[in-house]
Structure 1
Amino acid sequence: MDKVSIVVPIYNAQDKLKKCLKSLIHQTYRELEIILVNDGSTDRSQKICEQFLQKDSRILLINKKNEGSIATRQRGIDEATGKYIMFVDADDWVHPCMVERLMGQVADDPDIVVCNCYRVLSDRALLKRKNESHYFKENTTVKGDAIRTQIVEAFFHGHPFPATLYAKLFKSELLKESGQYVQRLKFLGDDLYLNLEVFLKANSIKIIDDPLYYYRAGGNTSRYMPHHFHDITEGYCIQKEVIEHYYQDSLSKHLGGISIMLLNSFKLSLQNLWASPMTDQEKAEMIKRYCEHPAIVEATMNADANKYFSADYLTAIKHQHVETLAQLGLSQYESFRKRQRKLALLAKVL
């Protein structure tokens, strides 16, 4: 029986961590290595991990300084000894047969097995929704160049093929030999850019419709992310390099896709400023620098992006209408906080 390493990055997850860990130690597939990587939590997360460590010898606990999810997941990959690796976020949980069902798909030796997942609002999952995209209409195997043309292309356009690291089973060697893209990021985007790299390397992928992973909605943070703009622009550069190398036959279409993705993410960078301790003057100076970034300038010149976005939005970026962009960021920030509060209230009721 092949060993599966489950990597759980943990940061201040005390309220949800027990449910996550219980779902792992009670898996019907027993040949597991459960790697808990505590990323400098300041709450009771470490204490909870230590309690589970005493209960199950398959658990390995790594306590380290806070470095963010990229370094935390990579530490788990480095420590893993299983033939396969899967990731579970500390505030989510999984079906008791998840590993068994994923391992039931490896007879044909796929490099990656992907399952469906439920998006839920509470511990009891009374309100849940699974991914209904065409990628999960039936169980299927994608091989060779079809991975590039049918799967990886989704990462350039925001299509509903999951770019998350959870709800997937990877060959360990594939992950251990990857990571060049995420090394260029500081905090954000490791899911997308690690997947981008490993899917381009994969020879075979098995996709099953079984929803085996329970992802908690409403977990996006409203705290300031100082590296957000760096990571979205560096991510654009990574995608552009990949497209120019692998997609000369469809260059224009995919450059349009990543331009649209970048300018959508730019709105989140504007929103992110309002979670910062910056003064209004500092925000204004930052927005001006954002608008001058070569990736943003290039994206605003893309023909597909010009068809997709309003002229007012693109004009505000091109001509550095700082007040307009600041107001857009504030409006989005206030709407986001309202949604967070509603989801939190709904989760308590459920």
Structure 2
Amino acid sequence: MTYIKEKGKVSIIIPVYNAERYLEECVNSILGQTYHDLQIILINDGSTDNSWKICQKLMKRDSRITIYSQKNSGVSVARNKGLELSDGQWIMFVDPDDILNLNMVAALLSKFNENRDIVACACYGFNSKRKITDHFFYGNRLFQLNKLDLYLQLMDSTYGQPGEVVTAIGVPWGKIYRRHFIEKNKLRFDPKLRRMQDNIFNMYAFYYARDIYYVDELLYMYRLDHISNYGDRNLKIFEKIFLPVIEARYNGLKKLHLFDNTQIYKGYINEAATCLSIIIKEKIMVGKKLGKVQNQIKLLSTKPRFKLLLEYQGIKNIQNKKIKLKILCIKYKLIWLYVLLYKLWKAK
């Protein structure tokens, strides 16, 4: 148990959407923290269940709880509203179905010094059947000038992880951010992104942070129920969901001059190649005619975010051999061969 002197208020932002089943358990794990100077901000994002009523009930229980309700606008808008309403010196994000170790806030705050802007921790992934440990890195890590491992794990969730992978360092929870640092660098979540808006947020946060410390302690419990079969459920709209992510990644790496690093360039190439491969798979699966698929692939391949893939250096750095062969088919306009390969591999 870590006991520390009060280091200022911690604002904990919880976006809430149809979370009636677990919300109270989540908030109770925050109210029971050994560190008491807290502001708990519940942002109801247009829930259609009893979540708002639970928010109102919780506010009456503890004066540290602030609640706000908005029409359904997405998790980015909800988190940004929470930042707007926050008045703490420190910022945390928590998902409404997750649970905090009762010592989490104190343990993370104890690692801050005058130059440190972010402290992060490891987590458990859990559901009713199992509990998995997820250590994002081997042991405690300090990131100052060299943040390469952070960037690479943002693009490949398995990178640097010593055991089973539940999620990766790009999540917004399991961290405390210095509020002044967030405001100084105008960090906000992008409402245009339906997925991975937290990952893109942290790409900028990691870049601008003076000092980041990773505590290899399992202090956050991440509920797994809602992520089951996510890819299968969203394959048909994968392009709408993930093309904007690749666009945001490309623009961010370019703006921050991170493409100058060879390993980051390779990381982006492989992330983008995987994304493009899945998008084309979806187009083939829905049975579109070859001519239409060819036109759509041609259009996609002219986008700046994918043009890098078709260059010699880009294709050379694709690690997955099947994906590399598919990208070669696109480069040389052999879409018929791409479709044939897809069907052959699917039949195996």
TM-score by length of 1: 0.78
Closer, same or farther: CA 246–7 of 1 in aligned 2, 3 Å = same
Q: CA RMSD in A?
A: 3.4
Q: Give the superposition deviation at 1:237.
A: 1.8
Which residue does 2:150 correspond to in 1? 151
8 Å contact 2:16–2:45 — kept in the other structure?
Answer: yes
* 1:16 to 2:22 alignment: yes
Which residue does 1:130 correspond to in 2? 133
Q: Pick the aligned partner of 2:315 from 300, 303, 319.
A: 303
Which residue does 1:142 correspond to in 2? 143
* 1:264 to 2:271 alignment: no
Closer, same or farther: CA 205–168 of 1 in aligned 2, 3 Å = same
Which residue does 1:31 correspond to in 2? 37
SS of residue matched to 2:226:
coil
C-alpha distance in structure 2 between counterparts of 1:242 and 1:70, whole Å = 21
The 10-residue stretch of structure 1 (307-316 or 16-25) with the greater mean CA deviation from structure 2: 307-316
C-alpha distance in structure 2 between counterparts of 1:257 and 1:162, whole Å = 15
For 1:163-242, list aligned pairs within 5 A. 163-178=170-185, 182-183=189-190, 185-220=192-227, 221=230, 222=233, 224=237, 227-242=240-255
The residue identity in structure 2 corresponding to 1:299 is L
For 1:285-324, list aligned pairs within 5 A. 288-289=295-296, 292-293=299-300, 294=303, 295-301=305-311, 302-310=314-322, 311-315=324-328, 317-318=330-331, 319=333, 321=335
Q: Give the superposition deviation at 1:71.
A: 1.5
C-alpha distance in structure 2 between counterparts of 1:325 and 1:25, whole Å = 55
| Contiguous gaps of at least 5 residues in structure 1 | 333-350
Q: Pick the aligned partner of 1:162 from 160, 169, 178.
A: 169
8 Å contact 1:6–1:85 — kept in the other structure?
Answer: yes
8 Å contact 1:178–1:194 — kept in the other structure?
Answer: no
SS of residue matched to 1:42:
coil
SS of residue matched to 2:243:
helix
C-alpha distance in structure 2 between counterparts of 1:12 and 1:291, whole Å = 40
Closer, same or farther: CA 184–119 of 1 in aligned 2, 3 Å = closer
| Contiguous gaps of at least 5 residues in structure 2 | 1-5, 162-167
The 10-residue stretch of structure 1 (104-113 or 32-41) with the greater mean CA deviation from structure 2: 104-113
The residue identity in structure 2 corresponding to 1:256 is K
Closer, same or farther: CA 71–272 of 1 in aligned 2, 3 Å = farther
Closer, same or farther: CA 299–205 of 1 in aligned 2, 3 Å = same
**Comparing both structures, which one devotes a greater share of its residues to helix?**
1
SS of residue matched to 1:49:
helix
The residue identity in structure 2 corresponding to 1:303 is I
TM-score by length of 2: 0.78
The residue identity in structure 1 corresponding to 2:35 is Y
C-alpha distance in structure 2 between counterparts of 1:66 and 1:59, whole Å = 21
Q: Give the superposition deviation at 1:304.
A: 3.9
C-alpha distance in structure 2 between counterparts of 1:202 and 1:172, whole Å = 12
Percent identity reads 23
The residue identity in structure 1 corresponding to 2:183 is K
Q: Pick the aligned partner of 1:255 from 262, 265, 270.
A: 265
C-alpha distance in structure 2 between counterparts of 1:285 and 1:14, whole Å = 45
Closer, same or farther: CA 290–50 of 1 in aligned 2, 3 Å = farther
* 1:57 to 2:58 alignment: no
8 Å contact 2:10–2:37 — kept in the other structure?
Answer: yes
The residue identity in structure 2 corresponding to 1:129 is I
The residue identity in structure 2 corresponding to 1:193 is I
8 Å contact 1:111–1:204 — kept in the other structure?
Answer: yes
C-alpha distance in structure 1 between counterparts of 2:31 and 2:283, whole Å = 40
C-alpha distance in structure 2 between counterparts of 1:180 and 1:322, whole Å = 44
The residue identity in structure 1 corresponding to 2:249 is Y
SS of residue matched to 1:106:
coil
Which residue does 2:92 correspond to in 1? 86
The 10-residue stretch of structure 1 (100-109 or 18-27) with the greater mean CA deviation from structure 2: 100-109
C-alpha distance in structure 2 between counterparts of 1:326 and 1:214, whole Å = 44
